[in-house]
Chain A
Amino acid sequence: MRLATTFSALLFFATSTAVAAQDDQPAAPHHDFRYTLSTIDDATFLSSLSPTLPASAGSLKAPSVTLFQNQLLIEPSFTFRYRSRWSLASSVAGVADSFRGLSAAEFEISPGNAAASAALNAALDPYTGTHMKFRVKEAYAGLSAGDFDFMVGRRIVRWGTGYAFSPAGVLDPPRDPTNPTDRLNLNQGRDMVKADYVHGPHALSLVWSSAALTPAKANLHDTTAFRYNILVHGFDTSLIAGDDRGGDAFGGLTFTRVFGQAWELHSEAAWREQCAVLIGAKYTTSTGVSFVGEFYTPPNTAYYRDSSISPLAGRQHYGLFYVSKSRLRELPGWKQWDLSASVVTNFDDQSYTGIFDATRRFGNHFSSYLHLEVPQSGKTSDYGSAPYSASTSVGVRFQL
């Protein structure tokens, strides 16, 4: 209630000051409309897949198969802006998932074991047949009034500065270190009311986010968060504070800074019961090859712990090394190619995943890609616990 009053007061103050500040100089067009349409067909082969079975089917021996997954994604998005003041935006994704290569027939079930058979069918359901899904990634309305911006709706917000890890990104979508750029654009935002005040180099953001519409398994709470951001002496610095309803209060500090011609440094520190720290750097060579390195150490608490980590394992230490080259223009005929490779590792159990990406553009609308993930180490380790030996994806993307 108190928060709602605060937002209302801000809204009233902002609209009244904005009207007073208007002048006669040429302004933005009456209205603007932007849209994008992306269609992706992604074929993924999971090699030597051993599906995780429920306890009730524990007596069954999981076979090792190659699972073929085809995903057809249609992702339209638009933004409409009226008089530089009102805006309406939406980004959705329709996904058709088809699976081949895995069925209950692969398992040796005795005819009388109905319980195991039912459990098996339930466990395999997500990996067989065809499934349709619809995701609302973003849908929000905004009002810009003077130095204030307000928005209500579902929105992807990222306050973290890390590439593969982000302890301070309290409202960010979950970050997957093996897929930090969300290559199929399936991340969804959080439902929120947000107010921003930007004046000179200072920016203040106040957010109230509801978890009412999120699935229970996401384990999200209603969150109230505040951020102060300032660019000072080249340091893009943010202070973050907030509270999860029924959970913990938290605080964070982030910064990025460019040094010289080639170095960028970024860091995050977050406190939620205990401290989590990320330190990272990017180096670019004169030929356009970029290297990113990150070191991340989260505490072994419920909020930060990955599902594959034992609660008794203690503080964890992760590393990322990433190298990329966009447009191999130095090689004749390779100008339309982008290549990247990375390794993400857990130093404590010495498990890691190697990732390789290649993209080739065709004209102004089409591109194709290859994405390869190879997890290594024992089945009980952090990255080695992936139920396959390699994941290979090839795909075609159309953009309008």
Chain B
Amino acid sequence: MSKINFVLHTFLALFVLGFLLTCTLISHAATPGAPDAEALLKRSDAYRNGWTSFVLHVKITHYESGKQDEEKLYEVSQKGTEKSYVEFLSPREKGQHMLMLADDMWIYLPDTSRPIRITPLERLNGDASNGDVAHTNYAVDYSPVYLRTEKVGADSCYVLELAAKRKGATYQRILYWLRVEDARPMRAEYYLTSGKHIKSATFDEYASVGGKLQLRRWTLYDEIRHNSRSVLEYSGIAPRNLPDKLFYQGRTDRF
């Protein structure tokens, strides 16, 4: 009898111990269903970088207090994740171009007729910064961490926190909302090194280009001056064989 009691007590003790251990493990383990943040970020980048070598046109319309006040046009040529070349097409900026090679960036101004080195802080100038136009491969520039899942409108979204991992990153920290269904970017918040929330973004429209779903329109909101926003519209997206010498900093004989 006492042997049965011993077995029962042992079984009960082991059961209770196992239950407690399971509860502890469940409460301390990673959140169930936590996604692979790196893979998610790479997948989301494909909505803005559909090919390894391509060109696109960007139209940026600035609004101040709800009124349109300026419009700018750019042609962006991108090769791989490290090389971007931006030609400025709007009347006031015609003749200017910008080159980004990994962490290094130059701007060519017609009145100086030579490439000028740009510091990372200068990339932030403008409603839509130089980096917003030329550097859109977040997986290369940032280390992502999954934070939580929450709703943006009717869509369930993963919230990632991106921390800059290289000098070439435009922002120090980004909070990035990606749709659970297809990793499509939905919303973003951009922060400086000081922790200041400088901009927010909504990713408004996608369209199929050559069988690939690509971002067509997104909006940047100035969080310092709340009455200012910039709408970035992409068009003419096409794969293009781009020569390496297009991305050479010493050339000034561009358009």
Interface residues in chain A, defined as those with a beta carbon under 8 Å from any beta carbon in chain B: 23, 25-28, 32, 34, 36, 77, 79, 81, 84, 87, 89, 142, 147, 149, 151, 155-161, 180-183, 185, 187, 196, 198, 200, 203, 205, 229, 231, 234, 236, 238, 256-258, 260-264, 266, 282, 284-286, 288, 290, 326-327, 329-330, 332, 335-336, 361, 363-365, 367, 399-400
Size range of the interface on B?
Answer: 35 or more
B119 touches A365 (CB 8 A): no
Known: A185-B111, A264-B118. 18 other contacts (CB 8 A): A155-B253, A157-B252, A158-B114, A181-B112, A229-B250, A231-B104, A236-B104, A256-B117, A258-B104, A262-B119, A264-B117, A264-B119, A285-B121, A286-B192, A288-B121, A364-B90, A365-B91, A399-B92
Taking the nearest CB of chain B, how far is it from the CB of A324, in angstroms?
Answer: 11
Taking the nearest CB of chain B, how far is it from the CB of A137, in angstroms?
Answer: 10
Taking the nearest CB of chain B, how far is it from the CB of A156, in angstroms?
Answer: 5
Taking the nearest CB of chain A, how far is it from the CB of B113, in angstroms?
Answer: 5
Count A/B pairs, Cβ under 8 Å: 139
B122 touches A160 (CB 8 A): no
B92 touches A32 (CB 8 A): no
Q: Which residues of A contact B167 (CB under 8 A)?
A: 260-261
Instruction: Select the stretch in B6-14, B18-26, B38-46, B239-247 that faces chain A.
Output: B239-247
B91 touches A27 (CB 8 A): no
Q: Which residues of A contact B249 (CB under 8 A)?
A: 229, 231, 236
B244 touches A200 (CB 8 A): yes
A399 touches B125 (CB 8 A): no
B95 touches A36 (CB 8 A): yes
In this complex, what residue of A is CB-closest to B104? A234
Q: Chain B, 130-150, contact with A by CB distance < 8 Å: what is the 0/1 string?
A: 000000000000000000000
Q: Known contacts A203-B248, A365-B92; decide if A261 and B117 are in contact (CB<8 Å).
A: no
Instruction: Select A364's contact among B91, B192, B239, beta carbons within 8 Å.
Output: B91
Contact of B110 with A by CB under 8 A: yes
Taking the nearest CB of chain A, how far is it from the CB of B235, in angstroms?
Answer: 15
Instruction: Select B239's contact among A26, A231, A365, beta carbons within 8 Å.
Output: A26
A79 to B114, CA, bound (A): 18
A197 to B117, CA, bound (A): 22
